[in-house]
Structure 1
């Protein structure tokens, strides 16, 4: 059995957005006793959130501004987090961007922008953090994909987003194989429609009604729905779950 150290850190990327999955997840994990390392392109907001978490939950927290598509910057940012926090046992890859551009209007710059952040970024952070997890002999990695990857779109974002999120699922499965012998599990979560700004801003009541028509439940998802799933997959007792994509989507994929 690969047991957790008494004090451990979860790194959460894309954490600073006021209404985002990353922020809700960071608060949820802090409430469960994790120390929190935050990475976000908005360094000031990241530092403010770290202070907020530390005050509210009494755990150690630190935030560093970084563009996850920059491999060298990611390595330096994780180095900074590790210098002041307990061993990193958890990683939650949330950082991502939307892309509603129709395929026939898509230019190369937009394609590469989305892939760099949504897929390369997950690779850069996971590669660096996995090195520390291997040394510690235990780890949990959870990356946010999307039901869009499984259905070929049909959400706010279109082709490059779907491709990048499908890549996250493939990366998750490959890493589960390679990192499993080191005591590290690697899983993905595929959210359905969640009321966050990545859906193009705050959802109107009319838009919520439209989205619910495709679901098997009577509401759109919340960031807390995803945070709860992340907390479950990061738990010590979830060590027999790996290479899995957990749909938290109100039944959209099945529907």
Structure 2
């Protein structure tokens, strides 16, 4: 990759060391997702729904940015889920589920990668292996359900942020969240411009879907490039368009 991962991690660590909450998390080996602060710091959600929580990196940032917000996180892998629970243990306005969001309730097989934050309900693609050196380590049966099984639509306040980081499964998560979308003000998702997982919808398809259900693209952040300066993926912020 053409961006300097070491420099990025160094900047994140420098930021984290200045925040007591983040310093405590570092003792468990978790570095808060401070790279998202610039994109989201101007928002003021009362509810943050964190789909694909991993070890709590985003939940930590959310608590720092929005001290009184309710945070609901979902992470299907038992190991990262347990770490996330430990990191956020003292937070009374935090709730964590060991599950993934999909279009229907049931069980699914997740592909667990060598670096587990690349694990996906989709098969690992050749481009991901080439760019990131990822490999399949194992498979695991996990619980899946629609988002409304974890957050009821009438529990969503006027200001709600839905964050999605699900390794190519973003469109299925959105389709499994349709009961809540009319109440979600902002969506923040990591989307890909190239196929990193086999069969994944690319950014253009997800953007088109969100446009059709009432959202507009509000910003593109943290763009990652390959060695030929080709954009590979980015974090994108979407805002609901208010009807006149």
TM-score, normalised on structure 2? Answer: 0.47
TM-score, normalised on structure 1? Answer: 0.46
